[in-house]
């Protein structure tokens, strides 16, 4: 799937998600078609959040795949390839391992294309680190550039970088494992208000019917929704741990 097709599919998906959220929210909190139409423009904010989440997921995937890629580069260096050809061999390995559309395959394809244009490998890797906005790749790029200029042992440097990145990834995995149950609890708590209101509407509608009538009821429900959204955003920020 091309980038444009994947982008369109992602846009359609988040549009469907937001439309469904608006429909559920307008029914449970307002029982009003008008509220559904009022909530729809919030798609821009929701799309921004989902795009940020998607980019963070891509960075995590790229960081994991980068570790394997520099191991492949190290293997090629040990086999006698030059530094430039080692990255070309690593590109082929990444395509076989993850597929041509994987983030690391796309990045290595860019590296190979620049090498064929006779650009210096240290500048290519530096550009890769800058564009990735990933600390591990940026650090590797800085060390790689310095070693290339002073003629350091690239095999040892790449092995050491791979070891350091692996250690950081293991720490991240341990933290994510420890946070899994907390994240599940957070998701349950986030949907609980909807479940409670839906239960009251179906089982004891008379108890809360006043909340769907008149200005006072609308104000109370709007304040409740605002407090709920603030709580969700706060909870997401708490469980979003960066290592």
Neighbouring C-alpha atoms within 13 Å toward the C-beta of 232: 14
In angstroms, how far apart are the furthest CA atoms of the chain? Answer: 80
Domain count, the chain: 1
User: Mean pLDDT of successive 10-residue segments in the chain (243 residues)?
Assistant: 70 92 90 90 90 87 88 86 90 92 92 92 90 87 82 75 77 79 84 86 77 85 90 82 59
Domain residue limits at 56: 3-239
pLDDT at 97: 92
CB 67 within 8 A of CB 38: no
pLDDT at 243: 54
Closest C-alpha to 58, from 124, 10, 111: 10
pLDDT at 95: 93
Q: Angle at Cα 27 formed by Cα 21 and Cα 28, nearest 5°?
A: 90
């Amino acid at each position: 799937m091309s980038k444009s097709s994947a982008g369109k599919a992602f846009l359609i998906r988040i549009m469907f998600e937001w439309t469904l959220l608006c429909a559920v929210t307008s029914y449970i909190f307002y029982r009003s078609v008008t509220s559904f139409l009022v909530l729809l423009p919030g798609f821009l904010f929701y799309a921004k959040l989902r795009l940020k989440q998607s980019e963070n997921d891509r960075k995590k995937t790229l960081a994991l795949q980068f570790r394997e890629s520099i191991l492949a580069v190290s293997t090629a260096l040990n086999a006698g390839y030059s530094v430039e050809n080692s990255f070309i061999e690593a590109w082929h390995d990444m395509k076989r391992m993850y597929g041509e559309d994987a983030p690391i395959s796309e990045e290595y394809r860019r590296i190979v294309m620049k090498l064929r244009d006779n650009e210096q490998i240290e500048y290519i890797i530096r550009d890769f680190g800058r564009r990735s906005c990933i600390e591990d790749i940026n650090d590797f790029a800085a060390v790689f550039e310095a070693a290339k200029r002073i003629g350091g042992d690239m095999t040892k440097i790449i092995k050491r970088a791979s070891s350091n990145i692996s250690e950081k990834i293991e720490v991240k995995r341990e933290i994510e494992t420890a946070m899994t149950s907390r994240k599940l609890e957070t998701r349950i708590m986030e949907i609980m208000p909807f479940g409670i209101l839906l239960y009251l509407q179906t089982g004891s509608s008379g108890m809360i019917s006043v909340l769907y009538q008149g200005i006072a009821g609308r104000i109370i429900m709007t304040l409740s929704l605002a407090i709920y959204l603030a709580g969700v955003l706060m909870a997401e920020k708490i469980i979003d741990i960066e290592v």
